[in-house]
């Protein structure tokens, strides 16, 4: 127990990663990856959370496993596109199944959710074990990922331009996509999330928007899972917006606060992992949890301590 927490060497933890240009590029890529994942997930997550779909992310991220396994079986390669398509199909299938069960069967919503994704996941695990050891996707990697391998990945080339390591480039593109969609469809997303009746009367295609969001969610998860693992994705869907909701109650403010939070998470997580020598993705979540705890206690909107103070004053 005594040597579980190594002494905190400030220089080694905080300065050494940035000592030389190579180190800066290497570690910068890791942090950038974390940042992009946090940002894109946080933006989608804000909408997911207000739609009470927080656990849908959990479900979809487990549900994509059979899709990955199948596309690997068919193509016998880890090429990006088939994997992506397989995962998207499985993810959408999973969310469709959940909705169908919720509508048609007498099951309660949460039971339908739990039932579907665990079954999908079980199928995925079964398929992967059937492929044997030549499978390079193992379930563990899916679950907690290894962000530290990001700089190791092959560079993605588009024409003559080097776009950097594949996962990073993909993630950056997905982030861009999400930001642009958020800007273009912001009003529609907002209205459908908060007031279904109003959006029906405005003639907005609710179903299309809902499935669009699900597809976006699936895309993000697929782009992110390989390097950061499912857990970071789920955590990042929920943590930023709930943390921000202790400070702001307006949607734009919550969305914008995802950016500084993503900074804190990615750098904080990186340093924590450096110190403890453990999984980077998981340490990012630990930092996120820590931030959430602080916000919970001190947040001006709904925090515990401000509420206590307020009560004293009013009495």
Q: Which residues of the shown chain bind another protein in the complex (CB under 8 A)?
A: 1, 3-4, 49, 52-55, 57-58, 62, 104-108, 110-115, 118-119, 121-123, 125-126, 129-130, 132, 139-140, 143-144, 231-232, 234-235, 237-239, 242, 245-246, 273, 276-279, 281-286, 288-289, 292, 296, 302, 304, 307
CA distances from 125 to 3, 5, 107, 122, 182 (A): 36, 34, 25, 5, 34
Q: What are phi and psi of 296, to 5 degrees?
A: -60, -40
Task: Judge whether 222 and 64 are in contact, CB under 8 Å.
Answer: yes
DSSP-assigned beta bridge partners for residue 157? 162
Closer to another protein at the Cβ: 45 or 164? 45
Minimal distance in Å, beta carbon 79 to another protein?
Answer: 25
Closer to another protein at the Cβ: 109 or 191? 109
Closer to another protein at the Cβ: 172 or 266? 266
Taking the C-alpha atoms of residue 19 and residue 159, their distance in angstroms, rounded to an integer, is: 33
Closer to another protein at the Cβ: 172 or 284? 284
Minimal distance in Å, beta carbon 214 to another protein?
Answer: 16
Calculate Rg over the CA atoms of the chain.
21
154: which DSSP letter? P
Minimal distance in Å, beta carbon 104 to another protein?
Answer: 6
Q: What are phi and psi of 156, to 5 degrees?
A: -90, 125
Minimal distance in Å, beta carbon 16 to another protein?
Answer: 18
**Of 137, 156, 163, 141, which Cα lies nearest the Cα of 227?**
141
Closer to another protein at the Cβ: 242 or 258? 242
| Chain centroid offset of residue 271 CA | 20
Minimal distance in Å, beta carbon 295 to another protein?
Answer: 10
Minimal distance in Å, beta carbon 192 to another protein?
Answer: 18
Closer to another protein at the Cβ: 172 or 228? 228
Taking the C-alpha atoms of residue 18 and residue 93, their distance in angstroms, rounded to an integer, is: 44
């Amino acid at each position: 127990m005594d040597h579980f927490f190594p002494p905190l060497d400030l220089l080694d933890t905080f300065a050494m990663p940035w000592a030389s240009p190579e180190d800066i590029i290497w570690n910068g890529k890791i942090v950038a990856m974390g940042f992009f994942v946090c940002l894109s997930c946080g933006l989608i997550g804000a909408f997911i959370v207000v739609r009470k779909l927080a656990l849908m992310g959990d479900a979809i991220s487990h549900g994509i496993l059979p899709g990955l396994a199948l596309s690997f079986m068919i193509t016998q390669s880890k090429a990006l596109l088939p994997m992506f398509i397989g995962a998207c199909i499985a993810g959408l299938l999973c969310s469709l199944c959940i909705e169908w069960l919720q509508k048609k069967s007498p099951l309660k919503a949460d039971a339908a959710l739990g039932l579907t994704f665990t079954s999908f996941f079980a199928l995925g695990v079964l398929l992967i074990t059937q492929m044997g050891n030549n499978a390079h996707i193992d379930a563990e990697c899916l679950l907690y990922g290894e962000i530290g391998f990001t700089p190791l990945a092959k560079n993605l080339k588009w024409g003559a331009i080097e776009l950097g390591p594949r996962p990073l480039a993909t993630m950056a593109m997905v982030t861009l996509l999400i930001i642009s969609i958020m800007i273009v469809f912001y009003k529609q997303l907002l209205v459908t999330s908060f007031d279904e009746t109003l959006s029906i009367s405005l003639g907005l295609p609710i179903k299309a928007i809902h499935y669009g969001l699900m597809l976006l969610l699936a895309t993000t998860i697929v782009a992110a899972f390989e390097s950061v693992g499912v857990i970071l994705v789920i955590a990042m869907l929920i943590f930023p917006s709930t943390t921000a909701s202790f400070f702001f109650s307006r949607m734009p403010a919550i969305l914008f606060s995802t950016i500084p939070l993503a900074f804190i998470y990615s750098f904080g997580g990186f340093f924590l992992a450096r110190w403890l020598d453990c999984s980077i993705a998981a340490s990012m979540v630990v930092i996120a949890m820590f931030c959430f705890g602080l916000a919970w206690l001190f947040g001006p909107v709904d925090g515990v301590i401000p509420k206590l103070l307020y009560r004293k004053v009013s009495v």
